[in-house]
Every structure is written in structure tokens, then in C-alpha cells.
Amino acid sequence: MSEDDGRVVFEPKIVGFLCNWCSYAGADKAGGLQRSYPPNVNIIRVMCSGRVDPQFVLKAYSAGADGVLILACHLGDCHYKEGNYHAMQRHRMLLRILSEHGIENERCRFDYVSAADGDKFVKIMNEMVYTIRELGPMDRLNCWSDNKLKQGG
């Protein structure tokens, strides 16, 4: 939580899985352009979005994240050919799992950021933080139990 004009503002914790070859380079591009974005996103660099096992996402929620971002190369640009297609399919599956547990789909966003998309990267960061702020903290007690997580949903 932080204070803004005396009002308490919820500062969400967001985990961002960024593919090394495009999205992480896009984050670097944003830095090179000296664009600023909220510090709420903890970035985890993965070699490919296809490396993001759904268990990583569930573990992030279990560990206290209010939202998760998965950023990939654009379709057709994955350095491992089909990793982002697999990631896209897993994301759809994740949304179904989250829905079954009462977790809003907006808490898990999948998008594409290329190495040249510095401005898009910043836009996604800002949108994600705004969206999760609007949703508020994740209600872990009511929508997710450790037992369900250990069983993989």
C-alpha cells in the first residue's frame, strides 16, 4: 500500500515472465528510451514463453502475487518455433483453471512484445498495474487453497 493525496493506494504484486529473445529485449528497449513504468512487476526472464509451466503461474499466486503476466515473441517469431503457440494454449487452460477457483481472468495476462516494442511494453505494464489495482488484492483464502495448488488445481 502507498499513499496518494492522503488516500491509501493498493500496490499490487505482479510477476512477469518475459521471454529472453523478444519481450525481455522489449523491456530493455523501454529502458533505453528512458520510459518509466510502475515498479510493481517482478520480472523473471525465461528463455521462451513456452518454458512457462502453468505450475510456475500457480506458484506465483500462492507466493503472494496478485497478478501474472506472460510476455512472448509475436507469433511466427519464437526462436524455438512453436514455444509461444504452446504458451498461448497453456494460458487458455490457465484461465479455465483460474475461473474454476473464482480468480478473475484479468489477473493472468498473455501478450506479445517484440524487441522493438519498448512503448508497448510500458503500456502493458501500466495497464496491468491499473487493472490489478482496480480488482484489489487477491482473495487467496476464498479462491485458492494450498491443497488445491499442490494438486495442480
Tell the smallest beta-carbon distance from residue 21 to ligand FES (Å). 4
In the region spanning residues 18 to 47, those forming contacts with ligand FES, defined by CB under 6 A, are 19, 21-22
Task: Give CA torsion, residues 94, 99, 104, 109, to 10 deg.
Answer: 20
Tell the smallest beta-carbon distance from residue 10 to ligand FES (Å). 31
52 binds ligand FES (CB under 6 A): no
In the region spanning residues 56 to 75, those forming contacts with ligand FES, defined by CB under 6 A, are 72-73
Distance in angstroms (rounded) separating the CA atoms of residues 96 and 101:
9
Distance in angstroms (rounded) separating the CA atoms of residues 82 and 14:
26
Residue among 125 and 138 whose Cβ is closer to ligand FES: 125
Distance in angstroms (rounded) separating the CA atoms of residues 68 and 151:
20
Residue among 23 and 60 whose Cβ is closer to ligand FES: 23
**How many other C-beta atoms can be found within 10 angstroms of the C-beta atom of residue 56?**
15
118 binds ligand FES (CB under 6 A): no
